[in-house]
Structure 1
Amino acid sequence: MANGEKPNDLDRRRQDLEAALAAKRPKPQAAESAKTGTMNGMGNALRLSSEFVAGVLVGAGIGWFIDEFAGTSPWGLIIFLLLGFGAGVLNVLRSAGLVADFGAENVNDDSDRGAN
């Protein structure tokens, strides 16, 4: 050991690190609630799928509208359909809690910023 550390010091530091990481990990509550046999899982699936379908339909509708009035067929539909697809995926990720809302401040504590 280069720093004069003993193997038991390394084990203690590893255990402290594992405990700190375990405390910061989120608890898997969403997966457990879907397994309960109630309608929660189906409700979540319906909500997420409707978020995605709405994004795609709105994008396609805007693209079609632009094509009809600007005469740019089919480019407006293609571009806005792809933008609607991206918006639908982003909405699903936001609803599932995997992506934070744009402009939302981090409400976590400042312990990992080096504040003492």
Structure 2
Amino acid sequence: GNINNIPLLRMHSAKQGWKVVDWENPISQQEKDKFSCSWTKYTSSSTRKSARICVHDVNDVFSNELRRGARWIECDVISTLWKANVHDRHSVYVEIGANIGACVMEMLLETDANIIAFEPHP
């Protein structure tokens, strides 16, 4: 079917209400002018696998820590808890409030979890 008819693929704009996400151009020019990011390396806690992650360009404590190679212990605990509990190939890890995705990166690099993550954006 038409991707524009899928209700979960909608986003909210404070001035315009809900609208269908244009996947050809998901970020408006206004957002593009307001937000930018820089790439840094993220390394997982136990497997030491790594991937690039896009962090905020602005002076942001969380982004600055990731740039320095620091870790958030809360993210390490999430993947440890996932691995310690019963799950199967249909299990889904849902992260609401993913921010820039450090915990999602940990889950991607440390587990075989199916992941749904989002950061509400006004």
Fold match by TM threshold 0.5: no
TM-score, scaled relative to structure 1: 0.31
TM-score, scaled relative to structure 2: 0.30
Q: Which has the higher helix share?
A: 1
Asked which structure has the greater CA Rg, the reply is 1
Q: Which has the higher strand share?
A: 2
